[in-house]
Amino acid sequence: MAVPKKRTGHSAQGHRRSNWKATKPETTKCPNCGETKLAHTVCTACGYYKGKAVSIKSPDYVETVVEKKKPAKKASKKAVKEETKAEEKVLEAEETKVVEAEEAKAEVVDEEKVIEEKESE
């Protein structure tokens, strides 16, 4: 690491820092309200920027909510197995309902036949 051989004097330090000055910030007039504002920033008085209402201070401001979508997680083998089991249970339940409905129809048809036979006698 470099180390200075001698201490820098006050005069040399002052000459080096002679161009180290603060500058005034760039200001412009707001096209909406005419107030002086910093360039490339939202007007603190009216809340407009480039002719659009972007701050709560402006009366025309409409808050827009942007929803972020979460990336889909990869399903683990265990989760996939559980999903397939759940689907199988649903399919079995549907099949049993269909079978029960067919049995009920068959019973109704049998009862109608018995009633017709009794009436014909």
Phi-psi region of 51 (alpha: psi -120 to 50; beta: other; left: phi over 0): left
Q: Which amino acid appears at position 41 of this protein?
A: T
Q: Provide the pLDDT for residue 16.
A: 94
Assign 35 a pLDDT band (cuts: 50, 70, 90). very high
Domain boundaries of the chain, sorted by first residue: 25-65, 73-121
SS3 37: strand
Residues 6 or more apart whose CB falls under 8 angstroms from that of 39 comprise 25, 26, 27, 28
Please count the other Cβ atoms lying within 10 Å of the Cβ belonging to residue 5: 5
* pTM value > 0.85: no
pLDDT tops 90 at residue 58 = no
Assign 7 a pLDDT band (cuts: 50, 70, 90). very high
- Render pLDDT for 65-107 as a digit per residue (tens, 0 to 9): 667 777 766 767 777 788 888 888 888 888 888 888 888 888 8
